[in-house]
Each structure stands twice: as C-alpha cells, then as structure tokens.
Amino acid sequence: MAETETALRTLARNVRAARTRAGLSLDELGQRAKVSKGALVGLEKAQGNPNFATLVRLADTLGVSVSTLMEGPSEARVRVVTADAVMPLWKGERGSEARLMLTTSGPAPVEVWRWRLEPGEEYPSHPHQAGVVETVSVTSGCMVLVVDGTEHPVEAGQTATFDGDAAHTYRGAGIEACHLIMTVHLPPGPASAS
C-alpha cells in the first residue's frame, strides 16, 4: 500500500510540474487531454487511480512520456531495469500485459515497453499527438497490428513502425503468447493546442 501511495505522490508532483512548465491551467489541460478538472485536481492531490488511457492522454498533451509522469528523479548515468521490477500499466482479461520499462532522457525521449499479448486479446490505442512514431519488434509468437483499420501481421523476428497519430490496435494472434518490444518515439517539446 505504501508503494502505491508513493507512486501517486510522484505522479501528482510530476503532473503538476509538467503542467506548470507548459503554462497550462487545470481547465486548459483538462480540455486538451479530455480529462475532467475534478479528476486533475484529485490527481494533483495524489488522490484517485488514473487509468492507462488517462495517463497517455496527459503525457501526450504535456509533451512528455508516460514514465516521465511516473518516475522519480534519475539517480545514475546507467539504469538497468528488470521486467519484474516494473508493474504492468495494462493487463488484459486473458493474461496480456504491457510494462513501461523506461524512457530515455533528452529533448525527444523514447519510451521502451515490453508487451505480452495472448491469442485473440487486443489493446486498442487512441491516436497520439502528431510526431509520435511507434515501433513494434516481435520476439516470439505473432500479432496483428491494426492501423487506420488495416491489419498488418507481424511475426517473430519482424519489426513494424508507424505514425502513432492514427487509431491503432495490438492483437495477439496464433496459438501462443506474442512477446514484443515497443518503442514510442516522442517529438520534442510540449504539445500545442489543438
């Protein structure tokens, strides 16, 4: 329980700091990210339990990575992160999951994710801000990547990339779990008003 409270306090501090850097009021951030002002007030007070989609919309709007909103300050030049040390940010009903392993620093950060997709289970993602590019590299099994309604099979040993500003879905395919590494390349700077 104490770990969850610490994570909520870190998230609250990071959202407030990113919002302040972007020069946005709670109302402006809420309108741009499509999150209610009440939810934002609660979030900045370390209350509530925001879902993965809310975190992605806030990060996109603020022009930062999801992990930037969730991580404390970096303590070393080299970070080594094991998958079991990171809580899944999404879990499917059949056992699928997504773990945000880390985000690189710099003006155009890259998020590194580990995904497991069980056969037939899918995760639909809303379009991200313009300039976001996603790459999926399947290490075992197979998946179907759906971008703008078009299906693209991706098998072990294959990598696909696409502009993340389109509707997209990740679906497990075949008879065994699909394991993949996803990178999300974020454009520099905060998102502009839409």
Render pLDDT for 19-50 as a digit per residue (tens, 0 to 9): 878 888 888 888 988 888 888 888 888 887 77
* H helix or E strand, kind and range, residue 59: helix 52-62
pLDDT in tens, 83-142: 777 888 889 999 999 998 888 877 788 899 999 999 999 999 989 889 999 999 999 999
pLDDT in tens, 152-169: 999 999 999 999 999 999
Distance CA 135, CA 74 (A): 25
Share of the chain above pLDDT 90, in %: 41
- Rounded mean pLDDT, 144-158: 97
Name the pTM for this structure: 0.66
Name the DSSP letter for residue 83.
G
Q: For residue 3, what pLDDT is reported?
A: 61
Q: Is the pLDDT of residue 74 over 70?
A: no
The alpha-helical segments, DSSP class H, found in 22-145 are 26-33, 37-44, 52-62, 66-70
* H helix or E strand, kind and range, residue 96: none
One-letter identity of residue 84:
D
User: Residue 72 — very low, low, confident or very high, per pLDDT cuts 50/70/90?
Assistant: low
Q: Which of 147, 140, 102, 101 minimizes the C-alpha distance to 124?
A: 147
Distances (CA, A) of 174 to 60, 154, 155: 32, 11, 10
- Greatest extent of the chain over all pairs of C-alpha atoms, in Å: 49
User: Residue 73 — very low, low, confident or very high, per pLDDT cuts 50/70/90?
Assistant: low
Q: For residue 193, what pLDDT is reported?
A: 39
